[in-house]
Structure 1
């Protein structure tokens, strides 16, 4: 899958000088994650070099991008979960679909269900007009509490090959259980949808994401449809760090910071 061209006006490093290295790292991993097929003709996601060190590659500025809005229809999991995974993705991205089908359900079952993990979606449409339309439609489905059902329908095997024209998006919304399809169409075409998608997109460009899917896990960049064990390792390290920080604060210590999550809303 080719890495899309981005506007020269979309520059990274919007969140302080400490993000320079993070942006470079995420851009590099993103390129590797969507690199052309090797000489054997196979195409696979590059596996990230992940250490068990909970502080390695963690950037507090990026951790602060977690919104933790309990009313966010494009998120799931407790707002005060100790670990937040932010996903920047495109509905026309094959690797995003692979993550959605193969890995995300297992993460939800293992970590979201027990309160460890919160997943926050960011629309990051980078493959043209249909990507933009699908992103707005997903946001519109979220206004009726059906974002994740729309997400599942749009990422089902073989769906993206059928395209995301207006009729297809309406059909996907119906499949997702969106009740008021008239409102769905109006919302998807409205200014609020465009503004919400643009906000997510600029945030993605701001951290240096250059392809999809790209992730932040408590401020630690990770890109590509990585194997389950990679996500497990990063999430567990973040959860352990958050627990240690909470214990230190409870003992009157001064170690750690609130950027790890777990703050009551």
Structure 2
């Protein structure tokens, strides 16, 4: 199990290095089978598929048609530079060109590697489910700022010593500047602190990360699956052709 104290000791020594260590290579995936082209599927009246989010049994946040015939899953770390690159280059076309058609859904699941990661994962869950993808994308869009805050926060926490019981994640967010970052995006400090005081929910995120990574063979981030098959590659240049082979195309 991913325990916070073990993660704290590992995380505070060199937070910026986490941007690299969190992105270790996943085991190789396979080819995505070619399918027939699938016609667009209409969203419910008055809605767009890109505004609809449901939470899966894996605690992933599914953007788009929950019954889409092509299901994309990403295991991502909010302290992973490669995940940030994908979010900056691939998230928008994935949503606008594919999720919007109702043919593809996009489920984001957290794989956590350190206490900063766990803190961020809980804060992105601190509002309505519809905000989860946008908040995660904001973290990745401002990756250098987030990691600089982790660097400074790690040093401050080392100097301050162990925080009081139940205050670990609040102390991390305070030291790393996460409260200010999320407050500028609609989550007040009080709201964020209340979420981070719920240590059981944060522990559950870490436990799910460990269990699912073992179950599915996820050894690094980002890792993508299309309809249950692991994709061999982490870039949009690899994911888009795989989506088209699976049927997300017009003919």
Q: Deviations over 1:95-146 (max 9, x none)?
A: 00000010111111110111111111111012x2211211222222455x42
Counterparts of 1:30-179 in structure 2 under 5 Å? 50=31, 53=34, 71-72=54-55, 74-126=61-113, 128-142=114-128, 145-157=130-142, 158-164=144-150, 165-167=172-174, 168-178=177-187
Q: Deviations over 1:13-38 (max 9, x none)?
A: xxxxxxxxxxxxx8433xxxxxxxxx
Q: Which residue of 2 aligns with 1:2?
A: 21
Deviating 4+ runs (over 6 angstroms): none
How many corresponding residue pairs? 187
The change in CA–CA distance for 1:121 and 1:188 in structure 2 (over 3 A counts) is: farther
Structure in which a larger fraction of residues adopt helix: 2
Query: Is the CA contact 1:3–1:210 (under 8 Å) kept in the aligned structure 2?
Result: no
Tell me the TM-score normalised to structure 1 length.
0.60
Query: Is the CA contact 2:63–2:105 (under 8 Å) kept in the aligned structure 1?
Result: yes
Unaligned runs of 5+ in 2: 1-19, 36-51, 151-171
Q: Deviations over 1:141-181 (max 9, x none)?
A: 455x4212311221114233223441322222222223x54
1:78: how far off? 1.1
Q: Distance in 2 between matches of 1:185 and 1:120?
A: 26
The change in CA–CA distance for 1:118 and 1:200 in structure 2 (over 3 A counts) is: farther
- SS of the equivalent of 2:112 reads coil
The change in CA–CA distance for 1:184 and 1:217 in structure 2 (over 3 A counts) is: same
Q: Distance in 2 between matches of 1:122 and 1:161?
A: 20
The change in CA–CA distance for 1:51 and 1:154 in structure 2 (over 3 A counts) is: closer
Unaligned runs of 5+ in 1: 6-25, 30-47, 55-68, 242-265
Q: Distance in 1 between matches of 2:100 and 2:107?
A: 15
1:237 aligns with 2:242: no
Query: Is the CA contact 1:150–1:172 (under 8 Å) kept in the aligned structure 2?
Result: no
Stretch deviating more after TM superposition (112-121 or 133-142): 133-142
Tell me the TM-score normalised to structure 2 length.
0.63
The change in CA–CA distance for 1:49 and 1:123 in structure 2 (over 3 A counts) is: closer
RMSD between aligned residues: 3.2
